[in-house]
C-alpha cells in the first residue's frame, strides 16, 4: 500500500499549505504576547536561517559502533542567508554555496569519527564511539550556536533509533547495571551479529532553488541496511529508509519538515523524531551533555506547545505515532538527575495518535494502568474505581525498574532501552484530555486531517501520574525534550510519512 501512496506525498503537502492559509484566518488561540514568550530559538520555524542536526541511537541510546565511512552518527546543517550587504563582510570559517547562503558546518565536520581529533575533544573520547558522539554533538553545537536571551541555542534535533538488540553481545545495561549475554532475545529483533549497527547518513545541503531561486531546500536521508550501499537509497526499495527534507520560501512562512520512515525485515523496529532538546544539561533519554533548541526548559504546569502536523502515511497498525512525546529525568526521591544511571530515571509521556492503537489498560486487568487518574478539577480517581476511572484514555503505563514501592499489580518498563531505568505513560485520544486541547476521539489529526494544535502540555503533564517514593517532595517536572514523530514497533515494510511546521513552545513571560 505504502509505495503507491508515496508518490502522492507532495500533493498532500500542497493541501497542507492550502489548509494553513485557511486556518490562519480563523485561528486566534495565540496566547497574549505579553504573557507568553517562546522557549525555542526559532519560534514557529520562521527564520530563513536553518539550524538542524541529526543523531542516531542504538537500542540503549548509545552508538556502540560507527557505520563504515559514515563517521560518528551526529551531523548538522546550519546555514545563514546573508543579504548583499552582509556578504561584503568577512567569513573565513564558512564555505559559500550560491550567492547568499553560508554553511557553518562543513562536510568534513559531519564526517568526523573516532580517531579524528577536533577542537575541544577529550582524549579519552578519541577511540570510544559513545563518548566521541557526545562530544561531536557539542562541537557541532559550537559551530551552530546562536546567541540569545536568556540562553544561546543550537539546533532542532532529528533523532533516529533502531530497536534491534543483540542480547548475546551484552551491549546494553539493564536498568543502568551492566549485565552479561543472554538469550534468546524474545522481546527484541536481531538478525544476528552486527544487528545494532548505526545507519548510513547522507546529506543534501540546502541551496536556493526553484525558478526564482527563492526556495530553500535540503535533507538528511539514509538506511540502516549497510549493504544497500548506494547513496541513491530510496523509499521504493525493500530496505529500511528514512529521510527528513526541509523546505522554506525565503522570507515567508514556516520551514516544512517532511519525514519518511520505512521499516524492513532486518530493521522492523525504527524511530524517527523531530526534537526540541535542551541547549545544555541532559535531554530525555540521553545521559550526556546535549545541544538543542529549547533555550528555556518548559516546566509543568505552565507551558504550551503549538505546531501543525500533517500525517500523510501512518506507518501501519504498530506505528506509535506520537502527537507529543515528552522526555524528562528525575530520581524516585524527586531530585533532579545527576548522571548516575542507577538512580536517574527517564520519564516519558506520549499521546499516541494512531487510531489503531488499542488501550491495554483495562478495568479487569489494571496492571498496565497508572494507579491514579487526575481530572482537570483536581479529583483523583484510583484505578480500582471502575465507574469513574477512564481506562480507554490510556494505552499503557509501565513502572520504573528501580521503584521500590510501586503499586501492584504493575509491569516494569523495558530495562534495556535506556542507559538508565525508565517510566512511561502513554495516553490515547479521549474526552478526558479535551480540556488540554488534545484529541478527544480516535482519528482526529490523523491521515487526511492535518491540524494546527495548541496543546496545554504543561497542565496535562502536571496532572499525569508518575512514580515517586512515599513521603518525598514532588519532583519539578522540567521537560528537556519535546518531540514529534513515530516509533514503528516490530512491523517490517511499513512506511510512515508526515510533515511538521510552525513548531513552538510557549512559556510564561516572567518579566
Ligand atoms: C493581553 O495583553 C493586553 C496588553 O498587555 C492586556 O490588556 C490584556 O488584558 C491581555 N489579555 C488577556 C486575555 O490576558
Ligand atoms: C578580511 O579579513 C582579512 C584577514 O583577517 C583582512 O585582511 C581583510 O581586510 C578583511 N576584509 C574585509 C572586507 O573586512
Ligand atoms: C538528494 O539529492 C539527490 C541528487 O540531487 C536526489 O536524487 C535525492 O532525491 C535527494 N534526496 C532527498 C531525500 O532529498
Ligand atoms: C518568479 O518571479 C516572477 C517575477 O517576479 C513571478 O512572476 C513568479 O511568480 C515567480 N515564480 C515563483 C515560482 O515564485
Ligand atoms: C519488494 O518486496 C515485494 C514483496 O516481497 C516484492 O513483490 C517487490 O517486487 C519487491 N520490490 C523490490 C523493489 O524489490
Ligand atoms: C471533577 O470532575 C469529575 C469528572 O468530570 C467529576 O466526576 C467530579 O464530580 C468533579 N469533582 C468536583 C469536586 O467538581
Say what the pLDDT of residue 31 is.
53
> CB 509: neighbour CB atoms within 10 A?
13
Q: For the ranges 72-76, 152-156, 283-287, which has the lowest average pLDDT?
A: 283-287
Q: What is the pLDDT of residues 294-308, one digit of tens each?
A: 999 999 999 999 999
pLDDT at 231: 62
User: For residue 353, what is its C-alpha cell?
Assistant: 495518535
Grid cell for residue 62 = 548509545
Mutate-to-test residue for ligand 4 from 211, 213, 248, highest number of ligand atoms within 8 A of CB: 211
The tens digit of pLDDT for each residue in 150-190 reads 999 999 999 999 999 998 888 888 888 888 888 877 889 99
Across 186-195, 258-267, 321-330, 352-361, least confident range: 186-195
**Residue 2 C-alpha from the chain's centroid:** 23
Query: Does the beta carbon of 211 sit less than 6 angstroms from any atom of ligand 4?
Result: yes
* pLDDT for residue 145: 97
Determine which residue's CA is closest to atom 9 belonging to ligand 5: 238
Average pLDDT on 102-122 reads 96
Q: Whole-angstrom Cα distance, residue 217 to residue 205?
A: 8
pLDDT of the residue at 141? 98
**CB burial readout 89-117, b (16+ within 10 A) else e:** eeeeebeeeeebbbbbbeeebbebbbeee
Determine the Cα–Cα distance for residues 74 and 241; give it in Å rounded to an integer. Answer: 17
Q: Tell me the torsion sign for CA atoms 441, 443, 445, 448.
A: negative
* pLDDT, mean of residues 289-294: 96
Residue 94 has pLDDT above 60, yes or no: no
Beta strands at 156-162 and 202-209: parallel, antiparallel or unpaired: unpaired
Evaluate: CB of 237 within 6 angstroms of ligand 5.
yes
Closest of 375, 370, 374, 328 to residue 347, by C-alpha: 328
Average pLDDT of the chain, as a whole number = 89
At 6, is the pLDDT very low, low, confident or very high (cuts 50, 70, 90)? very low
Q: Ligand 5: which atom is nearest the Cα of residue 236?
A: 13
Dihedral, 12, 13, 14, 16 alpha carbons, nearest 10: 90
Ligand 4 centre to CA of 101 (Å) is 20
Contact 420, 176 (CB under 8 A): yes
Q: Which atom of ligand 4 is found nearest the CA of 211?
A: 13
Is 186 close to ligand 6, i.e. is its CB under 6 Å away? no
Of the pLDDT bands very low, low, confident and very high (cuts 50, 70, 90), residue 22 is very low
Average pLDDT of span 90-96: 55
First vs last C-alpha separation in the chain: 53
| Alpha carbon distance 249, 437 (integer Å) | 30
pLDDT in tens, 200-250: 999 999 999 999 889 999 999 999 999 876 666 677 788 999 999 999 999
Whether the CA torsion 132, 134, 137, 142 is positive or negative: it is negative
**Candidates 373, 376, 377: which one to mutate for ligand 6, based on the most atoms within 8 Å of Cβ?**
377
Proportion of the chain above pLDDT 70, given as a percent: 89
Residue located nearest, by CA, to atom 2 of ligand 5: 238
Pocket of ligand 1 contains residue 28 by CB under 6 Å: no
Specify the residue with its C-alpha closest to ligand 5, atom 8.
238
Query: What's the pLDDT score for residue 419?
Result: 84
Q: Which among 480, 418, 461, 140 has a CA at the least distance from the CA of 277?
A: 480
- Using alpha carbons, select from 502, 80, 48 the residue that is nearest to residue 254: 502
Strands 156-162 and 50-57 come out as parallel
Q: What share of the chain is helix, strand, coil (3-state, %, to 5)?
A: 15, 30, 50
Question: 214 CA to middle of ligand 4, Å?
Answer: 9
Q: Residue 420 corresponds to which cell in the numbers above? A: 538508565
The residue contributing the CA closest to ligand 6 atom 7 is 388
**Distances, alpha carbon 413 to alpha carbons 129, 208, 408, in Å:** 27, 46, 14
| DSSP-assigned letters across all residues of 195-221 | TTPPPP-EEEEEEEETTTT-EEEEEEE
Average pLDDT value for residue range 266-295: 93
Considering every ligand atom shown, identify the ligand nearest to the alpha carbon of residue 215 and give its number.
4
- Predicted pLDDT at 234: 76
Q: Nearest 5 degrees, angle CA 487-CA 445-CA 40?
A: 70
* Closest residue CA from atom 4 of ligand 6: 375
Gap between the Cα atoms of 34 and 460, Å rounded: 23
Domain ranges of the chain: 37-83+95-508
Nearest C-alpha to atom 14 of ligand 6 is from which residue? 377
User: Distance, CA 238 to ligand 5 centroid (Å)?
Assistant: 6
- Partners of 305 in the beta sheet? 455, 505
Ligand 3 pocket list (CB less than 6 A): 204, 219, 221, 243, 245
Atom nearest to 237 CA in ligand 5: 13
For the cut 60, the answer to whether the pLDDT of residue 473 exceeds it is yes
pLDDT at 229: 62
Distance of CA 39 to the CA centre of its chain: 17
Give the model's pLDDT for residue 180.
Answer: 87
Q: Report pLDDT for 85.
A: 54
Q: How far away, in angstroms, is 510 Cα from ligand 1 center?
A: 15
Mean pLDDT to the nearest integer, 295-324: 97
Our mutation pick for probing the ligand 5 site, out of 238, 263, 494, counting the most ligand atoms within 8 A of Cβ, is 238
212 lines ligand 4 (CB under 6 A): yes
Whole-angstrom distance, CA of residue 242 vs CA of residue 220: 8
SS3 426: strand
Ligand 4 lined by 471 (C-beta under 6 Å): no
In 3-state terms, what secondary structure has residue 453? strand
- Higher pLDDT pick, 159 / 21: 159
CA dihedral (161, 166, 170, 174) positive or negative: positive
27-31, 96-100, 170-174, 357-361: range with lowest mean pLDDT: 27-31
How high is the pLDDT of residue 182?
87
Q: How far is CA 137 from CA 39, 74, 415, 491, in A?
A: 21, 6, 26, 31
Three-class DSSP category at 431: helix
Q: What is the pLDDT of residue 1?
A: 30
Q: Is the CB of 187 under 6 A from ligand 5?
A: no
What is the band of 92 on the pLDDT scale with cuts at 50, 70, 90? low
Cα three-residue angle 481-485-487, rounded to 5 degrees: 105
Compute the distance between CA of residue 508 and CA of residue 214 in angstroms, rounded to an integer.
35
**Who's near 388: CB < 8 A, 6+ residues apart?**
381
Amino acid at each position: 500500500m505504502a509505495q503507491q501512496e508515496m508518490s502522492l506525498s507532495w500533493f498532500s503537502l500542497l493541501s497542507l499549505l492550502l489548509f494553513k492559509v485557511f486556518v490562519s484566518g480563523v485561528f486566534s488561540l495565540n496566547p497574549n504576547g505579553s504573557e507568553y514568550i517562546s522557549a525555542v530559538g526559532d519560534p514557529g520555524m520562521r527564520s530563513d536561517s536553518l539550524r538542524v542536526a541529526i543523531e542516531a541511537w542504538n537500542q540503549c541510546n548509545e552508538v556502540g559502533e560507527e557505520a563504515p565511512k559514515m563517521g560518528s552518527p551526529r551531523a548538522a546543517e546550519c546555514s545563514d542567508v546573508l543579504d548583499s550587504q552582509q556578504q561584503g563582510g568577512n567569513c573565513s570559517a564558512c564555505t559559500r554555496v550560491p550567492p547568499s547562503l553560508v554553511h557553518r558546518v562543513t562536510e568534513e565536520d559531519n564526517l568526523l569519527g573516532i580517531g579524528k581529533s577536533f577542537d575541544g575533544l577529550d582524549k579519552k573520547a578519541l577511540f570510544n564511539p559513545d563518548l566521541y558522539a557526545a562530544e561531536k554533538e557539542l562541537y557541532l553545537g559550537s559551530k551552530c550556536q546562536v546567541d540569545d536571551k536568556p540562553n544561546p541555542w543550537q539546533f532542532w534535533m532529528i533523532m533516529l533509533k533502531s530497536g534491534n538488540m543483540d542480547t548475546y553481545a551484552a551491549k546494553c545495561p539493564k536498568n543502568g547495571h551492566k549485565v552479561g549475554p543472554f538469550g534468546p532475545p524474545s522481546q527484541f529483533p536481531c538478525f544476528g551479529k552486527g544487528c545494532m549497527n548505526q545507519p548510513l547518513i547522507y546529506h543534501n545541503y540546502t541551496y536556493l532553488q526553484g525558478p526564482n531561486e527563492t526556495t530553500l531546500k535540503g535533507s538528511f536521508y539514509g538506511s540502516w541496511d549497510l549493504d544497500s550501499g548506494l547513496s541513491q537509497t530510496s523509499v521504493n526499495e525493500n530496505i529500511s529508509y528514512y529521510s527528513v527534507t526541509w523546505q522554506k520560501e525565503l522570507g515567508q512562512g514556516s520551514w516544512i519538515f517532511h519525514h519518511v520512515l520505512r521499516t524492513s525485515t532486518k530493521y522492523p523496529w525504527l524511530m524517527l523524531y523531530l526534537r526540541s532538546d535542551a541547549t545544555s544539561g541532559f535531554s530525555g533519554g540521553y545521559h550526556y551533555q546535549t545541544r538543542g533548541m529549547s533555550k528555556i526548559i518548559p516546566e509543568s504546569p505552565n507551558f504550551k506547545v503549538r505546531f501543525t502536523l500533517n500525517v500523510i502515511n501512518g506507518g501501519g497498525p504498530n506505528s506509535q505515532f506520537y502527537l507529543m512525546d515528552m522526555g524528562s529525568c528525575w530520581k524516585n526521591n524527586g531530585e533532579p538527575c545527576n548522571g548516575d544511571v542507577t538512580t536517574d530515571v527517564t520519564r516519558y509521556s506520549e499521546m499516541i495518535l494512531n487510531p489503531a492503537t488499542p488501550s491495554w489498560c483495562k478495568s479487569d486487568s489494571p496492571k498496565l494502568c497508572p494507579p491514579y487518574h487526575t481530572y482537570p478539577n483536581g479529583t483523583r480517581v484510583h484505578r480500582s474505581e471502575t465507574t469513574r476511572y477512564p481506562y480507554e484514555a490510556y494505552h499503557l503505563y509501565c513502572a520504573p525498574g528501580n521503584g521500590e514501592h510501586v503499586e501492584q499489580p504493575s509491569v516494569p518498563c523495558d530495562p534495556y532501552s535506556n542507559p538508565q531505568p525508565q517510566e512511561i505513560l502513554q495516553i490515547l485520544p479521549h474526552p478526558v484530555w479535551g480540556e488540554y486541547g488534545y484529541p478527544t476521539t480516535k482519528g482526529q489529526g490523523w491521515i487526511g486531517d492535518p491540524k494546527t494544535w495548541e496543546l496545554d502540555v504543561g497542565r496535562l503533564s502536571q496532572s499525569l501520574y508518575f512514580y515517586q517514593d512515599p513521603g518525598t517532595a514532588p519532583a519539578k517536572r522540567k521537560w528537556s525534550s519535546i518531540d514529534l514523530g513515530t516509533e514503528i514497533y516490530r512491523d517490517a515494510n511499513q512506511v510512515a510519512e508526515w510533515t511538521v511546521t510552525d513548531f513552538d513552545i510557549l512559556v510564561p513571560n516572567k518579566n
